[in-house]
Every structure is written in structure tokens, then in C-alpha cells.
Amino acid sequence: MSDPRTLRRAILAAPLETSSFGEPPRPGTLYVPPAHEKALRPEANLVVGGRGVGKSFWTAALKSPELRRQIGSTVTALDRADVHVGFSLEGDIDRYPDAATFAHLLAQGTDPYDIWRAVILKWLAEKSALPLPETWAGRLAWMQAHPEEVARRVQSSQQAFGPDMFGLIVFDALDRSAHDWRTMDAIVRGLLRAVLWLKSFPWLRAKVFLRSDQEERTITDFPDASKLLVTKAELSWAPHDLHGMLWLRLINAPDTHGECLRTLYRNTVGNPPVSRDGSFQLPDPLKRAGPTQRALFEALAGPWMGKDKRRGVPYTWAIGHLADSRGQISPRSFLAAIAQATEDSQERYDDYPLALHYESIKRGIQKASDIRVAEIAEDYPWVRTFLDGRLRGLNVPCEFERIVDRWQQAFPEGPGSAPTDDRLPPQHAERGWAGLRDDLIRLGVLELKKDSRIDMPDLYRVGFGLGRKGGVKPKG
């Protein structure tokens, strides 16, 4: 058996950080859950998922030729793709407008559909080395004055991609395109109409990543939208996907750290991981729930969350405490919990015979909760406004009236009186506190119990400082 101190150092050397802000994923971290394969296929025009499930991750991966080749081993059609990003977290004003430019163009009466067609035309002009005006207003004016030339350029663009290749344009982070829901709806609706227009050209494909709350709105109320909806794929992570992703990263740790973890893997599984294209890969059985996957985690954390089975099983316990109220789990939360549990075991339980102490796994949940709170606030800053410090000390489940009392003290004029920034506000704040409650339930932050009490999953409860009888305690 490997020395637990050596294992802890090896785990902490593994690539447990996830990419963010559109950065390309690191080699050896590209794990494709079976549920994501449909989303990555070129014919999937609409991909929907909550915060942290991989929308920006896959945008960055698709943009990278090296990583796209790795995905191609699972989704072979991507081997023929020439990928371009049409909107993302990374600003690129020459290739797509930012929120301020969108606002200016819309104020001039421009149809969002035409703005997105201009983005597509700019992409094709780059591929074909054809000129276009320098500004977005100029490009739109040129398109309006030259409709036949626009049609001819798109029709002839197949030559720019070469034989057997196709162009794929990817759109992500569309919540950054506007500061209010009405404008954002119009922008997304216009984009989907432009994607439908592209379907007339078989060598051109588009993929739109949307947040779940965006997709739930009336953005597909236009003719033939069903042709896009039938291609819709949803991003989600099952517990076995998370464990598979963890072990892919562990066996790809650098230098002697990777050798240590691959030795543990071989001793547990019976066979060493296979090396392919410069990184180690997991066999399909290790990507599914089963005794082998469980045995691997038990090699790190043991069979129980305490001295006997009454306390639960680490393999399932950690996952269960990282789910939101809809059962969704963020890969970043899981990896953060494992990293923190390893550090805590190293600091507090140096002589423990396993790499991960069960009490350290609980503290890992605390760290993951802090990260998840920060993560959701990136997309929904208003969540912090109403929850950060407002409900501290409350025990859940509790009556909704107790939560309203806290909110009312902070914002006597209702949710509409809370300070705002330039990001999208709560969707249903105009309905008062009940509307805010429903928005938080849709996000998976709150849960409505059968007895009408309000609950909050540990993933958020710990970070926001609420209590629960017998649950993981908040820090401080």
C-alpha cells in the first residue's frame, strides 16, 4: 500500500483546478461524460446547462485544436471541424460586439438577427480573406446595402473550409450580452434565428450554450424554432462521472506524483492505465458506477465516514453533500472538496493510515460551499445581495416567513429596492418575495419541502452560514 503522506502530496500535485474564463483546459483533464457526448456533436445546435456544468469549459476545449483532437476520439465528427467562437467570456470586439455595442446598435433600431448575421459574415470574411467595414455599424450598413453580395459570400464559403471539412461557430456566455432580461431575450432569440438561417448551408454549423434560466424563457417563439429544439442537449454530471473525472486527473499528475497514483490505481484495479496521445486514459468501466470505481475511492478514503457504517460511505457521502436542490453537482465543487480534504488531512491527521480522513472530507464540503457561492455569484450577483449575511444563523428547514422577515429588515421596500449592478437581475422580482423565492428554487439554491418549509442544500447552506441539525457546520 502506498504511504498516505506520499499520496497526499501526489493528489495535491494533480490538476484539480478547473479552467475558467474561457481558458483552454490543461492536458490530461479532458473528461467527456457520456451525457455530454450529444452536446458536443456538431448537429446539437442548442446546449443547456446550469452554472458550473461545463458550458465555458467546452467552448474553450472546442476552440483548441489539440483538445478538439482528443474530443474527436469520442465525437469523431469533430475531426473535420474548423471552429470559431462567435461570443464568449473573452472580449473580442472585432469578432463580436460587447454589451455596450449591442446596446448602441439596438438603440438604433437594429434587429438582433442582423447583428448575429454580421458576426457570422465577419467569420466567413476572415476565412475567405474578403474585406468588410471596420465597425459593426459599418458592417451592418454594408449588409443592408449589398444583400446579393452577402448571399453570394455565404454560398461560396464552402471553398474556404476545404474538402470534407465544415465550419462550426460557437456561442457562449450570452448573459454578458445585455443588462436586462428583455434585451437579453431579444438578443438570444435573434441568435437562434441566425442559427436556423445557417441550417440552409450544410458546411456551416452553430452551437449555442445557454444557461437553464435563459432557455426557460420565450426565446424560441418564432417560426420553425422546433428545428433547433429537436437538437437540444443538456449538460449534467452523474456521480460516477465526477469520480471518473477525478481519477483521470489523478493518474495524469506530473512526475513521480503521477507514478504514485498510477501505482495505487494498478494495485486496486489490476491493470495500469493506458497512455494515449501524451496522457493517460481511463477504460470505460472506470467511467461507470460500480465496485471498481468505489474501490478506487476507498483506497484513498476508506469504507466509512467514521468508525463504522452508521456514518455513511465516503464514495457517496461527498457527492450527496455537494448537490444543489435539483441534484446537480458542479465538477469544480467536487474537485475543490477533494483538494481541501487532502490539505486538511495533511495538516491535521498526518498519522492517519489513509490519504483522506473522514473529518477532512467534511471540511472539504465547507471549502466547496464557499467556492460554489462565489461561483454562482459570478453569473447571478443578486444571489449574494439577498443571501450573503442576510440569513446567517437561521436553521433550515424553516418557514418561508422567517426568511422574509430577514429580507424585509434589509430591504423594506421589497426586492426591487435592493442595490443592483449591470448584470441581469432576478427574473421575477416584480412578484415580490415569492418571486425571489421561486427564482432561487429554479437555481437550485433553495428547496420547497412538501410541508411548505424552505430548505437549502449543504452546498449553499454552509457557505451562506445557515445551520442544520446534525449537518455539516458552517465555518466561523
Which residue's entry shows cell 452551437? 207
Q: For the residues of 364-414, what is the DSSP string, one character each?
A: HHHHHHHHHHHHHHHH-HHHHHHHTTTSTT-BSSB-HHHHHHHHHHH-TT-
- What is the spatial distance between Cα 455 and Cα 460, in angstroms, rounded to a whole number? 10
Cβ–Cβ < 8 Å for 246, 62:
no
Residue by residue, pLDDT tens for the chain (476 residues) are 579 999 999 999 999 886 554 566 676 788 888 889 999 999 999 999 988 888 988 998 899 888 888 887 788 899 999 999 999 988 899 999 999 999 999 999 999 999 999 999 999 999 998 999 999 999 999 999 999 999 999 999 999 998 889 999 999 999 999 989 899 999 999 999 999 999 999 999 999 999 988 888 877 888 888 999 999 999 999 999 999 999 999 999 999 999 999 999 999 999 999 888 778 989 888 888 889 999 999 999 999 998 877 778 999 998 988 999 988 888 988 999 999 999 999 999 999 999 999 999 999 998 889 888 888 888 889 999 999 889 999 999 999 999 999 999 999 999 988 887 777 888 898 899 999 999 999 999 999 999 999 999 999 999 999 999 877 888 76
Which residue's entry shows cell 476507498? 298
Residue-wise pLDDT tens digits, 292-323: 999 999 999 999 998 877 778 999 998 988 99
Q: Which helix (DSSP H) or strand (DSSP E) does residue 61 occupy?
A: helix 55-63
And the C-alpha cell for 323? 448537490
Cβ–Cβ < 8 Å for 61, 71:
yes
Residue-wise pLDDT tens digits, 74-105: 888 999 999 999 999 888 999 999 999 999 99
Alpha helices in 146-251 (DSSP H): 147-156, 158-161, 181-198, 212-215, 226-229, 239-251
Sheet holding 204-211, edge to edge: 81-87, 166-171, 204-211, 46-49, 233-234
- What is the spatial distance between Cα 118 and Cα 104, in angstroms, rounded to a whole number? 15
pLDDT number for residue 19: 55
Measured at the alpha carbon of residue 398, what is the angle toward residues 407 and 424, in degrees to the nearest 5? 40
Beta bridge partners of 94: none
- Which 3 state secondary structure label does DSSP give 208? strand
Question: With a threshold of 0.85, does the pTM exceed it?
Answer: yes
- What is the spatial distance between Cα 97 and Cα 114, in angstroms, rounded to a whole number? 12
The dihedral region occupied by 341, where left means phi > 0, alpha psi between -120 and 50, and beta the remainder, is alpha
Residue 83's identity, in one-letter code, is V
Q: Helices (H), strands (E): how many in the chain?
A: 22, 9
